[in-house]
Structure 1
């Protein structure tokens, strides 16, 4: 399949870029940060996301969504990377929506129309340590009466402090199991953790949290496959956001090279900077191709989609990091000041690199798959 967007996907990209540029430019992030907004996101913007159809891009039409695919979700995620917009898109419209669509009961899928409309925010509580390690879940789910008691601690829960519902990953006797949990349930403690990029995450502590059997998403012990499918999609979308952030940082830098004068010349006329810019351009194109290839593999249901997503996440992460480093360096001393946006891109890329596994995590996955 050609590694280019279709006409319809290109139109979606233009719509997402236009909407976010108008309604949530980088000034929107700065205002939320500087005002110390308690939510850290705009619920009005999230509802507008729903009105535009963006929040329901992956949700089936029967549940009020657009019923589109991973490529379209990646297109929106890339636009979010360009504007650095704080949004529940990843946690709600990608990870949670995929889990509920794949394995949710009829009652649980009642959340899908609310997500699609931008009326509800859901959060996936999976990671527990400093690094992404979905294979090492320590949170437990012990049978109790007709339900379970959940115990454990979760970190890096995207938008967990404002979530209307949590999808908790825990180990039952039968294996990895997913639970839909009301954050107001006794024993659930949630602490917001404002990240360096002014985006949102939370720590969630579960202490003897009692849930009924109907809180189980899918089958008891059957959560690993469902979780992996959602994480694969999330990693590819995270790669899209990294590509968007890296590309926008590159564009900002090119504009600076075209306007900043030093020693009586535009600094973009210096050959050394031209070489660095050309190298970065080619690397961004490679990252974009790897990311689109992974998204297409997910839509095609290919067996190697998980590995393709790992390749994309690792490549996009390294390239975006290169892009923001070059941006700061080429801006000189002013690149380190808060007045210029390039520093915000650097912070965002740093957090995104850790989200759902850094480059080292995914490089190891690919190596192990090859027998190394």
Structure 2
């Protein structure tokens, strides 16, 4: 099978790489972005839009470019290398997938062009305090009231939720807490009466939010899907996370090898010691194994068979999770104490990789899915 990129895909990779090099090559810039009230720079987000990245996965009818999972993989790998802070994963990959697969034409025409232009941000509010990785564990309720639904409940750790203009909220229409049936997705105006948010920086400096919904009225026309739509969007996001992890690991391996060539012990660079060379090679092997799994995920995620797609994503997430832990831990060990400081980049890569592992289930969770 030919895994080479097309000419257009190579051009995309090069242009995205140049964008992030201009904005993130200087690590001090990332620190400055993180200190802004929203946790990222809106000017950089506008550059994403200008470069066509925000429109990439959407249909041309909504102002998009009709890109597929491979194009998303290319962008996410560059985001991983740069440790970018903008809510691309939350708004374009995850929320964008829900909008593409679940919403009506009217909702798509209302929201997607503004999202693709960088004028609005959408976040998915699905996690609850006791739900862990189970999308069907939902206690937030949606009760019909004429041509509206009334939403009641709370959502936790909503990625990008404090800066979103729209929230896609999972809520229970019927059934008990863990029933797979009876779950709906609703597009909620983040400024609607009854919506309250508390934002905070997470360990990797991306933003999360706790969201409360108190008698929030949502038009029935803004019910945009069900659990199957949410699971498909999750699978697409897992594939994107695998690609981001590969980008972060590639940067971390390069950073570690460069450090080994500079750090001296007993009057020589530590890169001359064979035992440490072997550890660096093992890091590279783990990286390339993860890269193969990320490609596999990108090529499998468009499968309409939900069971087969889910198994493929579990396999990729489990394997990438194993690799990212190994690469991250080895990088910390080979750097020594400097890798634990906030001033140096290596520790920030390890934090992001750890967060990637926990999102939508860590490696152990997905191994259990495969064994079930």
Partners of 1:21 and 1:79 lie apart in 2 by 10
1:186 maps to what in 2? 193
Question: Do the aligned residues in 1 keep the contact of 2:95 with 2:122 (CA within 8 Å)?
Answer: yes
1:5 maps to what in 2? 5
1:147 maps to what in 2? 148
Deviations 1:88-113 (A, max 9, x none): 11111111111111221233112111
The match for 1:348 among 348, 352, 356 is: 352
Q: How does 1:301-320 map to 2 (within 5 A)?
A: 301=304, 304-320=308-324
1:18 maps to what in 2? 18
SS at match of 1:242: helix
Unpaired segments of 5 or more residues in structure 1? none
Using structure 2 for the length normalisation, give the TM-score.
0.93
The verdict on how the C-alpha distance between 1:10 and 1:301 changes in structure 2, with shifts beyond 3 A counting, is: farther
1:204 maps to what in 2? 211
2:178 maps to what in 1? none
SS at match of 1:353: helix
Partners of 2:71 and 2:229 lie apart in 1 by 21
Question: Do the aligned residues in 1 keep the contact of 2:286 with 2:327 (CA within 8 Å)?
Answer: no
SS at match of 2:133: coil
1:112 maps to what in 2? 112
2:177 maps to what in 1? none
2:361 maps to what in 1? 357
SS at match of 1:157: coil
Does residue 67 of the first structure (1) align with residue 66 of the second (2)? yes
The match for 1:288 among 282, 287, 291 is: 291
Partners of 1:290 and 1:14 lie apart in 2 by 22
Using structure 1 for the length normalisation, give the TM-score.
0.93
Does residue 175 of the first structure (1) align with residue 182 of the second (2)? yes
The verdict on how the C-alpha distance between 1:266 and 1:302 changes in structure 2, with shifts beyond 3 A counting, is: farther
Partners of 2:304 and 2:63 lie apart in 1 by 23
SS at match of 1:158: coil
Superposition deviation, residue 305 in structure 1: 2.1
Question: Do the aligned residues in 1 keep the contact of 2:98 with 2:233 (CA within 8 Å)?
Answer: yes
Partners of 1:28 and 1:108 lie apart in 2 by 36
1:229 maps to what in 2? 232
Deviations 1:199-249 (A, max 9, x none): 11111111111112112114xxxx011111100000110111111111111
Question: Do the aligned residues in 2 keep the contact of 1:3 with 1:293 (CA within 8 Å)?
Answer: no
Say what the alpha-carbon RMSD is for the aligned residues: 1.6
Partners of 2:264 and 2:242 lie apart in 1 by 34
Superposition deviation, residue 56 in structure 1: 1.3
The match for 2:254 among 251, 255, 262 is: 251
SS at match of 1:211: strand
Superposition deviation, residue 31 in structure 1: 0.9
